[in-house]
Structure 1
């Protein structure tokens, strides 16, 4: 078995205006390879700024399978901090243990933990497949899911500024659909005239019927009246139309739908998220209820429920003892 030196013999950064490919000279089993990797440059520099050419990480290349032509599978390992840390006590990859990997990833969280562990698994899987190590120290270490941050509700001042920015019948209705019914931009743009059942006070959004509250109903009536007066002969059956789409049968663009709220902290997307978070906090952090009301998938509903639970617990901890 050939030795596997745990070191990178150099790197060369070829940049143009701060961007460009990175070439990493890596010693693998005594052979030096130069492999380009556009994604490594900044990360390599961040490990030891000002010390170019030292051990920073590894880029390895698997040889083509027997009987096949062309380059082999390219595996990039940007796990530079881990390899640099292990290069002090160890000389070979086969000396790295499962405990070393666990100790390293305990210092990481969220996306960083996920990405680093995936890269380490890629390196050690390649090394074991090519006979460079006896056992893979990353085996049976679960990558796990991303640790999402707690969703935060909008504050009244943010909502007020968006309401003030809604100065047309169309914009006011669009904002109400996002804030009251958690409708996405594309869903609003795809609404048809027959989705509005005024007699039964219902609006069908993406196949789900929503009861219309008094405010949304009034804003809908105001828009339909404006639409009838502004484009009395249009053949477009979409609920929301503009000067460009009134003479066609196409829907309005996502850009047109969301443009009035651009620059606001309470954008349509944040307003939609806030509505779902408000439901989770008001009715209890029940993912099944959220999935039923808004048509969310299981993971998304769980995220809203977890965020609502965290916010409610935080509010309870901050409550004065006299009110508990």
Structure 2
């Protein structure tokens, strides 16, 4: 497979997952602001922008939910925003048109065409619900109409790395907000994990178990450990059996942070949750850079000097 095609597939998985997870995170954030009239909106919005690595306005400017929605939801240029991620996913699908299935292309293209009519609704929740629905449709097509070859491996690899990173950001918002933040039940619902959590623990719920479920549960696909494990498996499937040394850099970053979460007491992880989630985000970024260097090398620009001119 050509490296440019592989890179486009990788980023299709990342951008669709980014739009889905950002919609879930913003939905939780706005729900808290609406339910708690005493919440410090400016502080909460600045914390969210910091978690999402977006610059905040100067201190003398009050930051509200409208600014957060403009920056993280409706911006069609920034790939870190929901609309921008959907536009970028469609653009990458266009570049890999000869590889992606017709169904997947039509799904992403339809999403792109419908995007302007869904921006800035009266209820932001309607936009978030639409984004989650389109993300689920893309995931369903990937699972049902894509061969289990390099095409799927690159898309699932991108999706898994992005999912681990975004779940870490979601947990960071909960840790930084403290008692004023969303409950663990709200976070579970935002990830579609509440019913699975109740079935796992048979109704015996607690904050520690809820946090452990989103961090460590191997059977729930949105947990951090499950997403990291899926990324490791994709890397193993992509690398030839006779030469696994080249992928060791990406797998090392992912494996180290996964084992650091999985084999330590949960209480220790929860005691320093913001730091632990920052480590997950750093590992995902480092793994992405290693994958780019291994599979998507950029050809150096030829520079003519002296006699070579």
TM over 0.5: no
Higher RCO, 1 vs 2 (CA within 8 Å, ≥6 residues apart): 2
Higher helix share: 2
Give the TM-score, by structure 2 length.
0.22
Give the TM-score, by structure 1 length.
0.21
Higher strand share: 1
Structure with higher Rg: it is: 1
